[in-house]
Amino acid sequence: MADFARLLIGASEDGFATIADTGFTNVVFAWVPPELRPLDLGSLSEADRSRLHRLAPRVKARMQSEGTALLGYQPVHGLNTFRLLVMNPTVGTRDVEAVLDLLARYGAEEWPGTA
């Protein structure tokens, strides 16, 4: 399922960006707001990097408080990024799609609040 998540992230038309190439069960990525697509970490202004850095904790807190998902984040290359671990053998493609859909929705809704 981690490979499936990587496939969806890669095919997301820049809505998500892989931040670190990982293997096995880890998928490290970020949701990217439309005005920063495609994501180029090297060309981000300090203000945009700071806003994007604040987004993952906001999205995680919302997912946790609403009980929709529990997804970790951690800084990678100076940016808080989501870390999806897929280790449960009962997780299916619909589960992965649902988590990414939630991330995209919450990211879009929380992005203005990072300004």
List the Cα angle 66/20/47 in 5-degree steps: 70
Three-state secondary-structure class, residue 26: strand
The residues, any chain, with a CB within 8 Å of residue 34's CB and separated by 6 or more, are none
The predicted pLDDT at position 36 comes to 95
Pick from 115, 106, 114: nearest CA to 15: 106
With residues binned 3-state (H G I as helix, E B as strand, rest as coil), the percentages for the chain, rounded to 5, are 50, 20, 30
Summarised one tens digit per residue, pLDDT across range 52-106 is: 999 999 999 999 999 999 999 999 999 999 999 988 899 999 999 999 999 999 9
The predicted pLDDT at position 91 comes to 93
pTM (predicted TM-score): 0.91
Of 2.60.40.1220, 3.20.20.140, 3.30.70.3290, 3.90.1150.170, which CATH number belongs to 2-114? 3.90.1150.170
**Phi and psi at residue 43, in whole multiples of 5°?**
-105, 5
The predicted pLDDT at position 56 comes to 97
Structure tokens at 56: 């993952």
Residue 13 pLDDT level (bands cut at 50, 70, 90): confident
Summarised one tens digit per residue, pLDDT across range 20-48 is: 988 788 999 999 999 999 999 999 999 99
Pick from 62, 58, 56: nearest CA to 31: 56
Task: Give me the mean pLDDT over the 5-15 stretch.
Answer: 92
